[in-house]
Amino acid sequence: MKRMTLLLVLPLLAACGPGGKNGAGGPGAGAGGPPGGMPPAEVTVVKVGSAAATLTRELPGRVEAVRTAQVRARVEGIVEKRLFTEGSDVKAGQPLFRLDDRTYRTAAQAAEADVEVKKLNLSRVESLLPIKAVSQQEVDLARAALKQAQAQLARARLDLENTTVPAPIAGHIGRTLVTEGALVGHGEATLLAIIDQLDPVNVLFTEPNADVLRLKSALAAGRLKATDSRVVELILENGQTYAHKGKLFFSDLSVDPSTGAITLKAEFPNPQRLLLPGTFVRVRLPQAVESDAITVPQRAVLSGPQGQFVLLVGAENKVMPRPVKVGPMAGSDFTIEEGLKGGETVIVDGVQKAKPGSVVKPVPQQQGN
């Protein structure tokens, strides 16, 4: 009986010892500590502060070639051969198509022969004029006939030259719009291909006039300062920032009555041909400077049923949510109009591991991230 009592007491003593689950010094003790002795979750943080920031807007736009030329047949004929590779770069004046030129070559030869006849006739009547064998009127008629024949020869040579269709500008040529053996130029100048100049390219985008008026009001009230920067950035369809910056060229002085928007145009370098005509992009446009702005990375701002908020690392490295009111963009960051005063430590990465009230291990964000 004593042996059985001893066996029952020993486990109870072990449970109450320093390593037992109910011991005061066991791992996981203390409110907010990670369960099961796990180390605190590591999160990336930034300490926010106020500084001058250039406010920007991201506006939808579309890429256009800086110049576009239509390659058309100037004379009627059968397409004999295409002289370029589709999708390649061509030079101005480079032959692109060759038409059947036999009819035009014959016409040019006939016009040359007619000119020679008219020259001989003029020479003959001019030699007879001193002896009064012909009148001055006959000489004048012979000269006029020669000029007319020379004009017809020039037209015939031009038609013969136009049987070879050149590139009107240098640029990138697309697919052929006609096939070899097709009759072109019959009654109209048939479109054969299109050439686009793709370096640089233009981006057309629009901004609501109501937003422009609000910006002007803030500038007039002194809440913001005007920026003279004409440098703009481009956001590609995959969300990445385009490597080359562009320059704003003009802002339309009229408002489109159907959309209430103003059209703007910027030019961007395109050495790698990443920007193709028709591509939809977003333009990051600088608008004004706020002298005392608080900014946070976009990924630090979260949304919930009560609105937008950020997660702060407070005393004892505990996570606490803070409601915020987001203002205009400043580059790729959000400006914060309400909720932060500066000096707070905001979580930017690892928010999925940072539950309100939990303890985390804050790691400062590296420069450039």
Residue 110 is part of a domain; what is its CATH number? 1.10.287.470
CA–CA distance, 173 with 196 (Å, rounded to integer):
6
Residue 226: the pLDDT is: 61
* Distance, first Cα to last Cα, the chain: 71
* Residue 128 lies inside a defined structural domain of this protein: yes
Residue 184 lies in a domain: no
* Cα distance between residue 115 and residue 226, in whole Å: 71
pLDDT in the model for residue 98: 94
Let me know: does 301 contact 310? Beta carbons within 8 Å.
Answer: yes
> Does residue 126 fall inside a structural domain?
yes
Question: The whole model's pTM is what?
Answer: 0.63
Return the pLDDT at 343: 86
Residue 211: HSE in the Cβ half-sphere, 13 Å Cα cutoff: 15
User: Does 185 fall in a domain?
Assistant: no
Q: How far apart are CA 6 and CA 280, in angstroms?
A: 81
DSSP string, 109-139: HHHHHHHHHHHHHHHHHHHHTTTTSS-HHHH
Q: Decide if 156 is inside a domain.
A: yes
Q: For residue 340, what are the CA distances in angstroms to 43, 117, 226, 310? A: 20, 95, 25, 9
Domain that includes residue 144, residue range: 101-162
Residue 68 is predicted with a pLDDT of 92
In a domain, 362, yes or no: no
- 117 in any annotated domain: yes
Question: What is the rounded distance in angstroms from the CA atom of residue 349 to the CA atom of residue 302?
Answer: 12
Report residue 232: phi and psi, to 5°. -125, 155
**Predicted local distance difference test score (pLDDT) of residue 162:** 92
Task: Identify the pLDDT of residue 58.
Answer: 81
Q: What is the pLDDT of residue 228?
A: 64
Position 261 in a domain: no
pLDDT of 348 reads: 87
Per-residue pLDDT, 225: 66
* Residue written as token pair 């440098």: 231
Which positions of the chain have pLDDT values less than 70? 1-37, 209, 215-216, 218-219, 221-229, 250-253, 367-369
The Cα 161–Cα 154 span in angstroms is 10
Residue 128 has a pLDDT of: 86
CB atoms within 10 A of CB 101: 20
> How many domains is the chain partitioned into structurally?
1
